[in-house]
Structures are given as structure tokens and as C-alpha cells.
């Protein structure tokens, strides 16, 4: 069985508080976009075999045993029985880029195993299992635009309000430490919720919708801020860094003409 885990962007990201459990409360809108990974699994018929993960494409930067895909398999096996699997993950979504690639891979695998082996696990249980893997994993169980609060696991589905717009998604290959990014941000309560701000014209979002990580990340890696500015110069209606970086996206009415420099950082473009 093969599935194609999607990436996500954050339309705004506000850090609203520090929690007693060490996590932060946030407010953001998750929106699914390309690019897509490819995830395929087959059953093993050899006695004594164990689950195996093979990765190709972009390097995951970790041992297969530490990949969220294998961790998802282990977590699912705690309460459910299904055959030993050989899994092939082809990475297209950059790792550690603020696009949720690893979270998407693990959640799509949970959904696919549930469907393939008719485990009859409810979507709520799948969300609960995925949350143990990562704060943004539950979003990929439903995979529809959602207003997220709490750690990012409290989700309110939204309509596909960006349908028909064109997106350009760039990544300069800079690695950002999410932990360090959180440590260098000051939590605060926004004056208006993102669900209100997105009702404004997209041409007004530049003044209204923020990512609290940008100030720290742009100071440390100026190229990321420069890419955002160049996207606006190329006609973007709205541009923002996704998550804690380092990917930046621009939203347009139609396909833009991009500079050679921007083109060198391209990882995806197309209509949303």
C-alpha cells in the first residue's frame, strides 16, 4: 500500500504561553500544501522478521530506528495487532524545515495501517496515538485546514479558503533548532485571533498576521528574511516563514516570475 504524506504551512504562529509540562501554548492555522513524500509498506512473510524502514530521497538525518515512522509502528502495536511490515519512505519534504514532514509521515502511516488491516481504530484514537509522537501530528490525521491551539493538538477545522491561489515554497537549507527558537521568544496574547484575521482581504495579511519566530530566526539567519522580502518584491500577496523555519512561502494570484536566486531555493510551486 502506498500513500503520499503532505506538507503543511503555518498561516501565522503566535506563542501565547509557557506550560507547566515544558511545552508552549500556541495559536496557528495549519494548511496542507505540497510537496509530498511517498510512503509504501508491504507485509513480511518471514518468521522472526521485525519492522524495517528504508529511506531514500532527502536524508532524514537520523537512524531509521529513531524515525517517527518506526516510532508510530511501535506505538500502534502497543494495543493493536497487525503483520510485520517493510516500509519504504521516499523523502521529498525537507527535514526540520517547518513543514511537518516527519509528523505527516507518521500520521499517514497510522491511517494507512488502520485502513489496510481493518483495525477499526476511530479517528479520535488515531489523533491520541499521533499526539504521543508530536504536537502537530494530529493535524495530519484529518489533513484539512485547521485553527490550532494548545500545543497545536486542539483543532478546529476550517474551509479550504486558499483554493485557487498559487503558492511558492522555498527552503534555503538552513537548520533551525525549534527548542532554541522557543527559548528566544516571549509569549503573549494576540489582540485578535487568527480566525478573525484571515477574514480580512489577503492583501491586508502582511500587516496583520505574524510568526513570532521570525524576529529571532531572521537575526540569526538573515537569508531567510531576505527570501521573504524578495517574495514580496516578486508580487506575493502574502509571505511568511512556516513554523520555526527555515522554509518561507509566498501566496500569489497566479504563477510569478521569480529571480534566479529564489529559484535556487525552490522546493514546491503550484495552485493550492
> Alpha-carbon distance 239 to 233, whole Å?
10
User: Quick check: is 8 catalytic?
Assistant: yes
Predicted local distance difference test score (pLDDT) of residue 3: 98
52-57 β-sheet, strand order: 2-3, 38-43, 85-91, 52-57
Residue numbers in the chain where pLDDT is lower than 50: none
Predicted local distance difference test score (pLDDT) of residue 214: 97
Among the listed residues 8, 91, 111, 228, the single catalytic one is 8
Predicted local distance difference test score (pLDDT) of residue 241: 98
Predicted local distance difference test score (pLDDT) of residue 162: 98
Q: Using alpha carbons only, give the angle 170, 176, 181 rounded to the nearest 5 degrees.
A: 120
> Alpha-carbon distance 14 to 25, whole Å?
9
User: Quick check: is 136 catalytic?
Assistant: yes
Name the pTM for this structure: 0.95
- Residue tagged 500577496 (cell numbers): 237
Among the listed residues 37, 51, 105, 136, the single catalytic one is 136
Predicted local distance difference test score (pLDDT) of residue 46: 74
Predicted local distance difference test score (pLDDT) of residue 48: 72
Structural domains for the chain: 2-157 (3.30.230.10), 166-271 (3.30.70.890)
Amino acid at each position: 500500500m502506498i500513500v503520499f504524506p503532505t506538507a503543511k504551512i503555518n498561516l501565522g504562529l503566535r506563542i501565547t504561553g509557557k506550560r507547566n509540562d515544558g511545552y508552549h501554548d500556541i495559536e496557528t492555522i495549519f494548511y496542507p500544501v505540497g510537496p509530498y513524500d511517498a510512503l509504501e509498506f508491504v507485509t513480511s512473510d518471514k518468521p522472526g522478521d521485525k519492522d524495517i524502514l528504508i529511506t531514500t530521497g532527502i536524508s532524514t538525518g537520523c537512524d531509521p530506528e529513531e524515525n517517527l515512522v518506526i516510532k508510530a509502528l511501535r506505538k500502534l502495536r502497543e494495543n493493536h495487532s497487525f503483520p510485520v511490515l517493510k516500509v519504504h519512505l521516499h523523502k521529498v519534504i525537507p527535514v526540520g524545515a517547518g513543514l511537518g514532514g516527519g509528523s505527516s509521515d507518521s500520521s499517514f502511516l497510522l491511517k494507512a495501517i488502520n485502513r489496510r488491516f481493518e483495525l477499526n481504530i476511530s479517528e479520535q484514537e488515531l489523533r491520541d496515538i499521533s499526539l504521543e509522537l508530536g504536537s502537530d501530528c494530529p493535524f495530519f490525521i484529518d489533513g484539512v485546514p485547521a485553527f490550532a491551539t494548545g500545543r497545536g493538538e486542539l483543532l478546529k477545522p476550517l474551509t479550504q479558503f486558499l483554493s485557487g491561489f498559487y503558492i511558492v515554497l522555498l527552503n534555503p537549507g538552513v537548520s533551525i533548532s525549534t527548542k532554541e527558537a522557543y527559548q528566544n521568544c516571549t509569549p503573549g496574547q494576540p489582540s485578535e485571533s487568527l480566525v478573525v484575521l484571515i477574514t480580512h482581504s489577503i492583501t491586508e495579511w502582511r500587516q496583520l498576521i505574524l510568526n513570532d519566530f521570525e524576529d529571532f530566526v531572521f537575526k540569526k539567519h538573515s537569508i531567510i528574511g531576505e527570501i521573504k522580502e524578495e517574495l514580496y518584491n516578486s508580487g506575493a500577496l502574502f509571505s511568511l516563514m512556516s513554523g520555526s523555519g527555515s522554509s518561507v512561502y509566498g501566496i500569489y494570484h497566479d504563477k510569478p516570475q521569480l529571480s534566479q536566486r529564489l529559484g535556487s531555493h525552490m522546493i514546491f510551486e503550484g495552485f493550492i
